[in-house]
């Protein structure tokens, strides 16, 4: 990979786009690569890849023959940058990486690229655990997914527990149980923690659960039916009733899947609907002949891209970091399916088929996804119109220069100063931007317990110090147009002080405080250097601000509870470097409790299986060496 320097004859002052582009043709050859088009201020307008750089760039050397969108892009081009690659596949990968990094105005950009949840059956314990997993696949075990949402995983897990009775508790909870928990009482766990099921029998349950998640359900139902019949004939009526309940639960799982294609075992069904310059991409996840949910996306369409470009850009960004299925079914053909198939095959480690089906069951799946995309975009456009009116109302109420495109709302939560957490939520013309939400663990070193003002100052200082460092010229979309603070004049003054210290004194700050009797609807709004004021009851803008505040409150309370629960469920061993789950189990099994481990001598620690001399010394020093 090499970078092509700009043409030496190019003047410093920008010229009309086509002339600028023609000036680069003499420096280019027929190599594959990536090109960037920049405006007069150096902002990247567009990132593209080419099989033949010279031929591709020469297409931009004239204004005729292009859509209005491409014409505008050419007219704004003041300079270009180039990188050659060895293959076109490398160029496509580099293009998608640069698009995600630079977010050019004229490219299609996938804005919601969160990871999808999976079901994990662990493999590092005699009695494997079944649980939801999101993120990097670092834990040992078998993963089944992706599922479209956490709710889809939770529903499936709920039913699977009824059928296969696998444990969902953590290893530390498992090791500490002396009697079965509530899940055993309601027949959702076989209680392996207290020895109510043999290891071999539990392994059979795990095997059956894996078969179900792989789509092999017929044999499982037949096996359960045979066991129920045998139990009934042996007059073991309680066992027969339990098996009947498991068969019923298995039937419920299959019924709730909705779409269960017979001829499609594994595929992602991707359909796009484009209207009024906006697009909705709908993805259906088909695994093991079962529908594992669907998800809609609303990519930024690059100021007028067509369906083929949207789908190709979406696939390149969507499967970055995700394992593609064996088959991808599309609603529209893309320009280079062979190249995209090659890229996806590299990511999957096997062949990936890309198809646009015209008939049969596959075409019906695509039509269903397309209908969902059309309906989703209709709802989104209706919501967007209402959201636009509310943002205009916000601008009028708080005397802003223009409707805000990015509102950040801040709140804190703690319990008498402990487990303190700050949070930020983000909203804009498209509603809540949940991928932009952030949590802040409050550092208590220099704070008095329960000092809400100091907590808010710390959160804002960390947020904007980083923003100033990463984007001092404010070229990204991460700079807010309005800050809403949960609190009154004191919190607003604290925030204004932090922003002034960082040299950020042009972002409006509004505090939202409960009014008389702390009733909703009587909120008072505080701004630096101005008298507090209120909006009339029933004002849609007031309701909108209340919803923003409540969303921030919901998010920060959830973060606070999660932190508190983690602290309650933890042990002092969690803080010892080098002690993971397996060694923690070994220590607890040997000594009986974390407290006993903390009091153990060095020789006793060395005697524990799996604990080396150096680790024993580390554990001993952690509990005995101070300072």
Structural domain including 218 reads 118-256
Residue predicted with more confidence, 606 or 259: 606
Residues in the chain: 627
385 belongs to a structural domain: no
Domain boundary pick from 58, 83, 106: 106
Residue 307, both tokens: 């369906």
In this predicted structure, what is the pLDDT of residue 9? 37
43 belongs to a structural domain: yes
C-alpha–C-alpha distance, residues 441 and 436, integer Å = 17
Please check the confidence at residue 11 and state whether its pLDDT lies above 50: no
pLDDT in tens, 222-277: 777 787 888 888 887 777 877 777 777 666 655 554 456 778 888 999 999 998 78
CATH number of the domain at 581, please: 1.10.150.20
For 67, list phi and psi in degrees, rounded to 5: -70, 165
Run of H or E residues at 118 = strand 118-122
Domain shared by 12 and 142, yes or no: no
* SS3 assignment, position 111: coil
DSSP state letters, 562-601: HHHHHHHH--GGGGSTT--HHHHHHHHHHHSSHHHHHH--
Domain shared by 80 and 178, yes or no: no
Please check the confidence at residue 607 and state whether its pLDDT lies above 60: yes
Residues 6+ apart with CB under 8 A from 570: none
CATH number of the domain at 7, please: 3.40.1440.10
C-alpha–C-alpha distance, residues 285 and 116, integer Å = 11
DSSP state letters, 364-421: HHHHHHHHHHHHHHHHHHHHHHHHHHHHHHHHHHTT-SS--S-EEEEEEEEETTEEEE
In this predicted structure, what is the pLDDT of residue 47? 94
What is the average pLDDT score of the chain?
85
For 359, list phi and psi in degrees, rounded to 5: -150, 165
Residues 6+ apart with CB under 8 A from 73: 37, 45, 46, 106, 303
In this predicted structure, what is the pLDDT of residue 516? 61
Note the pTM of the prediction, 2 decimals: 0.66
pLDDT in tens, 74-95: 999 999 999 999 999 899 989 9
Please check the confidence at residue 626 and state whether its pLDDT lies above 80: no
Domain shared by 287 and 337, yes or no: yes
Domain boundary pick from 536, 567, 598: 567
Domain shared by 476 and 554, yes or no: yes
Residue predicted with more confidence, 374 or 514: 374
Q: How many domains does the chain have?
A: 5
Domain shared by 562 and 421, yes or no: yes
Domain shared by 561 and 443, yes or no: yes
Residue 112, both tokens: 């919601």
In this predicted structure, what is the pLDDT of residue 14? 43
C-alpha–C-alpha distance, residues 465 and 174, integer Å = 43
399 belongs to a structural domain: no
Q: How confident is the model at residue 13 (pLDDT cuts 50, 70, 90)?
A: very low
DSSP state letters, 419-479: EEEEEEEEEETTEE-GGG-EEEEPP-TT--TT-HHHHHHHHHHHHHHHHHHH-TT--STTS
Mean pLDDT of 1-26: 66
In this predicted structure, what is the pLDDT of residue 320? 85
pLDDT in tens, 431-473: 888 889 999 888 766 665 557 788 888 899 999 999 998 888 8
189 belongs to a structural domain: yes
548 belongs to a structural domain: yes
595 belongs to a structural domain: yes
* Strand-pair partners of 132: 119
CA proximity to 509, closest of 535, 489, 482, 544:
482
CATH number of the domain at 425, please: 3.30.420.340
Please check the confidence at residue 553 and state whether its pLDDT lies above 80: yes
Residue predicted with more confidence, 13 or 570: 570
Domain shared by 436 and 521, yes or no: yes
Residue 100, both tokens: 């995600």
C-alpha–C-alpha distance, residues 150 and 299, integer Å = 21
C-alpha–C-alpha distance, residues 200 and 127, integer Å = 10
Domain shared by 467 and 545, yes or no: yes
Domain shared by 459 and 549, yes or no: yes
Domain shared by 123 and 238, yes or no: yes
513 belongs to a structural domain: yes
Domain boundary pick from 256, 288, 310: 256
Please check the confidence at residue 4 and state whether its pLDDT lies above 80: no
Please check the confidence at residue 5 and state whether its pLDDT lies above 60: no
Domain shared by 479 and 528, yes or no: yes
Domain shared by 279 and 198, yes or no: no
40 belongs to a structural domain: yes
pLDDT in tens, 349-386: 999 999 999 999 999 999 999 999 999 888 888 877 88
């Amino acid at each position: 990979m090499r970078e092509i320097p700009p043409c030496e004859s190019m003047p410093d002052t920008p010229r009309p786009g086509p002339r600028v582009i023609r000036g680069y043709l003499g420096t280019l050859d027929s190599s594959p690569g990536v090109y960037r088009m920049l405006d007069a201020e150096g902002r990247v307008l567009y990132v593209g890849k080419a099989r033949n750089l010279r031929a591709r760039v020469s297409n931009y050397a004239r204004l005729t023959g292009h859509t209005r969108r491409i014409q505008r892009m050419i007219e704004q081009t003041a300079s270009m940058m180039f990188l050659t690659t060895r293959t076109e596949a490398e160029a496509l990968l580099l293009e998608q990486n640069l698009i995600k990094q630079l977010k050019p105005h004229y490219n299609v950009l996938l804005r919601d690229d969160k990871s999808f949840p999976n079901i994990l059956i662990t493999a590092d314990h005699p009695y494997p655990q079944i649980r939801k997993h999101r993120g990097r696949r670092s834990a040992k075990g078998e993963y089944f997914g992706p599922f479209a949402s956490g709710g889809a995983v939770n529903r499936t897990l709920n039913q699977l527990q009824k059928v296969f009775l696998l444990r969902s508790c953590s290893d530390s909870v498992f090791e500490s149980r002396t009697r079965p928990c509530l899940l055993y009482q309601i027949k959702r766990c076989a209680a392996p923690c207290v020895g109510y099921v043999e290891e071999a029998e539990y392994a059979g349950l795990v095997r059956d659960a894996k078969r179900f998640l792989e789509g092999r359900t017929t044999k499982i139902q037949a096996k359960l039916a045979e066991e129920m019949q045998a139990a009934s004939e042996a007059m073991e009526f309680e066992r027969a009733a339990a098996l009947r309940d498991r068969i019923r639960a298995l039937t419920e799982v299959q019924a709730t899947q909705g779409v269960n294609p017979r001829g499609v075992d594994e595929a992602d069904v991707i359909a796009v609907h484009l209207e009024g310059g906006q697009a909705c991409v709908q993805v259906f996840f088909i695994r093991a002949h079962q529908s594992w949910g669907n998800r809609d996306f609303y990519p930024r369409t690059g100021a007028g891209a067509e369906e083929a470009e949207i789908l190709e850009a979406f696939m390149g960004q969507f499967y970055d970091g995700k394992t593609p299925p064996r088959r991808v079914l599309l609603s529209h053909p893309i320009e280079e399916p062979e190249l995209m198939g090659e890229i996806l095959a590299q990511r999957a480690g096997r062949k990936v088929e890309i198809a646009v089906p015209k008939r049969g069951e596959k075409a019906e799946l695509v039509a269903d996804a397309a209908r969902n995309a059309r309906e989703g975009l209709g709802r989104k456009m209706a919501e967007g119109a209402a959201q636009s009116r509310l943002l205009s109302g916000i601008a009028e109420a708080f005397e802003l220069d223009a409707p805000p495109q990015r509102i950040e709302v801040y709140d804190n939560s703690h319990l008498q100063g402990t487990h303190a957490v700050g949070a930020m939520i983000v909203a804009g013309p498209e509603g809540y931007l949940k991928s932009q939400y952030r949590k802040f663990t409050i550092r208590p070193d220099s704070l008095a317990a329960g000092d809400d003002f100091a907590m808010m100052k710390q959160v804002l200082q960390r947020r904007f110090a980083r923003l100033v460092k990463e984007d001092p010229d404010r070229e990204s979309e991460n700079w807010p147009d309005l800050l809403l603070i949960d609190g009154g004049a004191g919190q607003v003054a604290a925030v204004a002080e932090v922003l002034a210290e960082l040299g950020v004194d042009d972002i409006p700050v509004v505090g939202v405080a409960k009014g008389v009797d702390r009733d909703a609807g009587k909120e008072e709004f505080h701004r630096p250097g101005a008298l507090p004021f209120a909006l009339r009851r029933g004002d849609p803008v007031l309701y909108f601000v209340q919803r923003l505040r409540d969303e921030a409150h919901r998010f920060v309370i959830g973060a606070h509870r999660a932190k508190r629960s983690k602290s309650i469920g933890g042990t002092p061993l969690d803080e010892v470097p080098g002690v993971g789950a397996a060694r923690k189990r070994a220590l607890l099994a040997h000594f009986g409790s974390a407290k006993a481990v903390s009091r153990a001598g060095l020789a006793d620690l060395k005697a524990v299986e799996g604990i080396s001399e150096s680790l024993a010394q580390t554990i001993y020093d952690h509990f005995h060496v101070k300072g």
